[in-house]
């Protein structure tokens, strides 16, 4: 079994246990294990072979034994037994908005429903309304949710799709009278690469809340309304994305924001810490368990303060060690967008970009950049109008001219994004590379080669002393083109010795390296570069997605070369190739 299959089985077990009504901690343990394995940068079989399963965060002795069983037998006895009790097909019912594990158990036990199709049938026959706690209205709502699921699937939206939509909606709500604060929450605030639904929050007085909700559900982007209340409403947008909005008074803003930012796992840990102090924590307040008055938090800082912790930034809130790090005073000082002064990967009209070198330079400067690298494609990527050596030298002349026009406060490096060919060779000879200011090597073709072969191509590029950076190392394209099957262990270890920069490509369809690989690269001290890979000046907007991915990988400014002044970067290149 591979990582994805093991993760899927654990995730199914978590759902089945939750339907059975098991203890939340047990459910959470499986869910966390599934996520840890899904985002694990290494082949789980290899980790098992090294006896290192229990070193994976979230995997203890029991879970390690279960993984070992799956890897060696291809099955999990525990799952088979559980399946006798809770049919695995019930898991898909949980995808219906508003259908929780208790209700799923009920329709299974009372109506013998085991699939989504059967659920649809009993709902249409009007059999759901007679269940305890249901009615004609909730039946109708459920039917709508089932239809919406059938129409849009349970696909997650990309960060780059959800983010601008959320900002648009918040801007509309912020204009309304009585609105004191607005914010995105949920996975979008944590800047995960994909988003299940958009969570929005507004601080407003009770009198203002009605108008906020009315405006929200009638926005032009809204296709249908799934809930409309005084503090909570939900809508489905025309593109199928769900948006949840909550409105609460400003005095409770901190607890509201913290609760709905999540992650669920992070929140569970916060609530446990609170309980140890005799406080119960929810979205409204801290409530002392001994009956004293509740403690309101208008800011998130106050929440962490109450718990005796420093502020934890949203991009870290995944319960991946941030609570422990906060306790020990070793939270990373995360890299921030304002610290980025360069972009080292972009295209001009010389290959497949839409703007000239000078135009790209001026735009970058207007965005606060101090230097850039122009890195057009190399010859073998004919589809992108890749540059022959002859054209590359003509381009060098234009870079020199553009530098003269830009003056001493800005610098354009002449670079390339060179193909790593299918046979592993590089597209330009060393003599050519030696004369360029900055060399990216990237995979665009034959990504589906077997692991050994594609890894060898990357290693070959890393070992070339002229290659300064590997561009979008996995080559994935979200949502559906998987990256190459790379031996990351080997590639990362090699990058350490060759001192090659690895890219965090900020394009929201790439975010490559992904957050979990960034975390491993940071731990190994590998220098990273966050670049927009701009083919158009609009693409400079991607920067914050890349920075967020770096943050999710615990990167500080020191690991991100785009925060370095140009002389420091040039000295680093000197040091690599003395
Ligand atoms: P998503 O939408 O799947 O990308 O992920 P989230 O994290 O945005 O999850 P969502 O939309 O279900 O809920 C938003 C936040 O609200 C979540 O991060 C934590 C909080 N939350 C929601 N339901 C629960 C819950 O049952 N328990 C706890 N502790 N927190 C919850
Ligand atoms: Ca969400
Ligand atoms: Ca939500
Ligand atoms: Zn590129």
What is the 199 CA–ligand 3 centroid distance (Å)?
5
Residue 427 token pair: 């597209």
What is the 441 CA–ligand 4 centroid distance (Å)?
10
The residue whose CA has the least distance to atom 17 of ligand 1 is 262
Q: Is residue 373 located within the same domain as residue 522? A: yes
Backbone angles phi, psi at 269, to 5 degrees: -65, -40
Cβ contacts of residue 172 below 8 Å, gap of 6+? 215, 219
Give how many domains the chain has, as a whole number: 4
Q: Is residue 476 located within the same domain as residue 519? A: yes
Nearest ligand for residue 260 CA: 1
Rounded CA-CA distance 63/66 in Å is 5
| Type and span of the H or E element at 146 | helix 136-152
Ligand 1 atom at shortest distance from the alpha carbon of 195? 4
Chosen domain end from 327, 355, 372 = 327
Residues, CB-to-ion distance under 5 Å, ligand 2: 186-187, 197, 199
Nearest ligand for residue 469 CA: 4
Mutate to test the pocket of ligand 1, among 14, 25, 99, 187 (most ligand atoms within 8 A of CB): 187
Q: Is residue 364 located within the same domain as residue 415? A: yes
Ligand 1 atom at shortest distance from the alpha carbon of 244? 11
Q: Is residue 501 located within the same domain as residue 357? A: yes
User: Which residue from 284, 331, 330 is spatially nearest to 303, judged by alpha carbons?
Assistant: 284
**Among all chains, which residue has been given the structure tokens 């599934």?**
34
Partners of 505 in beta bridges: 512, 531
DSSP string of 67-113, one letter each residue: HHHHHHHS--HHHHHHHHHS-GGGGGGGGSTT--HHHHHHHHHHH--
Determine, yes or no, domain membership for 75. Answer: yes
What is the 265 CA–ligand 2 centroid distance (Å)?
14
Q: What is the pLDDT of residue 2?
A: 83
Determine, yes or no, domain membership for 117. Answer: yes
- Using alpha carbons only, give the angle 308, 311, 313 rounded to the nearest 5 degrees: 145
Rounded CA-CA distance 376/364 in Å is 16
pLDDT level of residue 95 (50, 70, 90 thresholds): confident
Ligand 1 atom at shortest distance from the alpha carbon of 262? 18
The residue whose CA has the least distance to atom 8 of ligand 1 is 186
What is the 176 CA–ligand 4 centroid distance (Å)?
42
543 contacts 530 by C-beta, under 8 angstroms = yes
CATH number at residue 55: 1.10.150.110
pLDDT level of residue 57 (50, 70, 90 thresholds): confident
Determine, yes or no, domain membership for 441. Answer: yes
The residue whose CA has the least distance to atom 10 of ligand 1 is 186
Nearest ligand for residue 233 CA: 3
Write the burial class of residue 493 (CB in 10 Å: 0-12 exposed, 13-18 middle, 19+ buried): middle
What is the 147 CA–ligand 3 centroid distance (Å)?
19
- Roughly what angle, to the nearest 10 degrees, separates helices 24-38 and 3-20? 170
Q: What is the pLDDT of residue 270?
A: 97
Q: Is residue 426 located within the same domain as residue 293? A: no
282 contacts 255 by C-beta, under 8 angstroms = yes
Chosen domain end from 194, 214, 248 = 248
Q: Where are the alpha helices (DSSP H) in 285-340?
A: 300-306, 322-327
Full domain range(s) for residue 320: 256-327
Q: Is residue 451 located within the same domain as residue 557? A: yes
pLDDT at 39 over 70: no
pLDDT in tens, 316-335: 999 999 999 999 999 999 99
How would you classify the pairing of strands 232-237 and 242-248?
A: antiparallel
pLDDT in tens, 520-565: 999 999 999 999 999 999 999 999 999 999 999 999 999 999 999 9
**Among all chains, which residue has been given the structure tokens 């405006």?**
215
Ligand 1 atom at shortest distance from the alpha carbon of 197? 2
Determine which of 83-97, 347-361, 455-469 has the lowest per-residue pLDDT on average.
83-97
Q: Is residue 244 located within the same domain as residue 290? A: no
Determine, yes or no, domain membership for 332. Answer: no
Sign (positive/negative) of CA torsion 484, 37, 198, 181? negative
- Overall average pLDDT of the 202-216 stretch: 95
Determine, yes or no, domain membership for 243. Answer: yes
Q: Is residue 237 located within the same domain as residue 319? A: no
Q: What is the pLDDT of residue 5?
A: 86
The residue whose CA has the least distance to atom 24 of ligand 1 is 264
pLDDT at 152 over 70: no
Sheet holding 198-204, edge to edge: 179-185, 198-204, 242-248, 232-237, 222-228
Q: Is residue 168 located within the same domain as residue 71? A: no
Q: Is residue 81 located within the same domain as residue 228? A: no
pLDDT at 153 over 80: no
| Type and span of the H or E element at 405 | helix 389-406
Rounded CA-CA distance 412/18 in Å is 56
pLDDT in tens, 447-499: 989 999 999 999 999 999 999 999 999 999 998 788 999 999 999 999 999 99
Rounded CA-CA distance 199/201 in Å is 7
pLDDT at 381 over 90: no
CA distances from 194 to 163, 271, 404 (A): 10, 26, 43
Determine, yes or no, domain membership for 366. Answer: yes
Ligand 1 atom at shortest distance from the alpha carbon of 271? 29
Q: How many CA atoms lie within 13 A of 558 on its CB side?
A: 7
Q: Is residue 147 located within the same domain as residue 163? A: no
540 contacts 363 by C-beta, under 8 angstroms = yes
Rounded CA-CA distance 81/112 in Å is 19
Q: What is the pLDDT of residue 104?
A: 95
Q: What is the pLDDT of residue 279?
A: 97
CATH number at residue 243: 3.30.460.10
pLDDT at 43 over 90: no
Pick the residue with more confidence: 153 or 96? 96
- Overall average pLDDT of the 427-432 stretch: 97
Q: What is the pLDDT of residue 98?
A: 81
With b for 16 or more beta-carbon neighbours within 10 A and e for fewer, the 553-570 pattern comes to bbbbbebbbbbbeeeebb
pLDDT level of residue 382 (50, 70, 90 thresholds): confident
For ligand 1, residues with CB inside 6 Å are: 186-187, 195-197, 199, 259-260, 262-264, 267-268
What is the 171 CA–ligand 4 centroid distance (Å)?
33
Q: What is the pLDDT of residue 578?
A: 60
What is the 191 CA–ligand 3 centroid distance (Å)?
14
pLDDT in tens, 292-318: 999 999 999 999 999 999 999 999 999
Q: What is the pLDDT of residue 491?
A: 97
Residue 104 token pair: 């799923």
Write the burial class of residue 397 (CB in 10 Å: 0-12 exposed, 13-18 middle, 19+ buried): exposed
Mean pLDDT of the chain: 94
User: Which residue from 204, 227, 207, 209 is spatially nearest to 217, judged by alpha carbons?
Assistant: 227
Q: Is residue 54 located within the same domain as residue 132? A: yes
With H, G, I as helix, E, B as strand and everything else as coil, classify residue 556. strand
Chosen domain end from 104, 119, 152 = 152
Pick the residue with more confidence: 534 or 151? 534
CATH number at residue 532: 3.20.20.140
């Amino acid at each position: 079994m591979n990582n994805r299959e093991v993760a899927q089985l654990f995730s199914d077990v978590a759902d089945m246990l939750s339907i059975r009504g098991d203890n939340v901690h047990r459910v959470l343990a499986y869910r966390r294990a599934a996520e840890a394995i899904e985002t694990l940068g290494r082949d789980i079989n290899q980790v098992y072979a090294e006896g290192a399963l229990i070193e994976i965060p979230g995997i203890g002795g029991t879970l390690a034994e279960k993984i070992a069983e799956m890897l060696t037998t291809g099955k999990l006895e525990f799952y088979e037994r559980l399946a006798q009790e809770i049919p695995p097909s019930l898991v898909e019912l949980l995808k219906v908005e508003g259908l929780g594990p208790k209700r799923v158990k009920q329709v299974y036990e009372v109506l013998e429903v085991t699939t989504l199709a059967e659920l649809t049938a009993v709902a249409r026959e009007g059999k759901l309304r007679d269940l305890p706690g249901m009615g004609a209205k909730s039946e109708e709502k459920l039917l709508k949710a089932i239809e919406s699921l059938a129409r849009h699937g349970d696909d997650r939206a990309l960060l780059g799709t959800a983010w601008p939509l959320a900002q648009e909606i918040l801007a509309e709500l912020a204009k309304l009278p009585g609105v004191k604060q607005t914010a995105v929450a949920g996975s979008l605030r944590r800047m995960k690469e994909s988003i299940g639904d958009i969570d929005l929050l507004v601080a407003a007085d009770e009198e203002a809340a009605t108008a906020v909700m009315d405006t929200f559900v009638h926005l032009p982007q809204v296709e249908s309304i799934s809930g409309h209340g005084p503090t909570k409403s939900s809508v489905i947008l025309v593109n199928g994305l769900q948006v949840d909005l909550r409105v609460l008074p400003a005095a409770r803003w901190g607890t509201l924001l913290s609760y709905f930012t999540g992650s669920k796992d992070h929140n569970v840990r916060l609530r446990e810490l609170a309980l140890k102090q005799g406080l119960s924590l929810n979205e409204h307040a801290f409530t002392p368990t001994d009956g004293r008055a509740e403690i309101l938090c208008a800011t998130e800082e106050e929440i962490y303060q109450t718990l005796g912790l420093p502020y934890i930034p949203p991009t870290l809130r995944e319960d991946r060690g941030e609570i422990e790090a906060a306790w020990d005073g070793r939270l990373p000082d995360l890299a921030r967008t304002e610290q980025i002064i360069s972009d080292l990967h972009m295209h001009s009209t010389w290959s497949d970009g839409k703007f000239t070198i000078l135009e790209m330079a001026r735009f970058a400067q207007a965005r606060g950049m101090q230097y850039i690298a122009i890195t057009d494609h190399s010859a073998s990527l004919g589809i992108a109008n890749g540059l022959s050596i002859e054209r590359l030298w003509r381009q060098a002349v234009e870079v020199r001219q553009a530098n003269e026009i830009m003056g001493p406060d800005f610098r354009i490096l002449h670079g390339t994004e060179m193909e790593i060919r299918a046979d592993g060779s590089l597209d330009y000879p060393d003599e050519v590379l030696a004369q360029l200011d900055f060399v990216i090597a990237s995979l665009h073709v034959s990504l589906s080669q077997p692991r050994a072969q594609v890894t060898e191509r990357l290693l070959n590029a890393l070992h070339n002393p002229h290659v300064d950076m590997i561009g979008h190392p996995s080559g994935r394209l979200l949502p559906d083109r998987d990256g190459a099957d790379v031996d990351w262990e080997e590639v990362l270890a090699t990058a350490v010795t060759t001192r090659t920069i690895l890219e965090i490509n900020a394009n929201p369809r790439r975010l490559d390296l992904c957050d979990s690989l960034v975390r491993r690269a940071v731990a190994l001290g590998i220098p990273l570069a966050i670049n927009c890979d701009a083919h158009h000046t609009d693409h400079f907007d991607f920067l914050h997605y890349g920075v967020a991915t770096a943050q999710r990988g615990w990167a500080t400014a020191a690991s991100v070369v785009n925060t370095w002044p140009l002389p420091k970067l040039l000295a680093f290149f000197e040091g690599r190739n003395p």
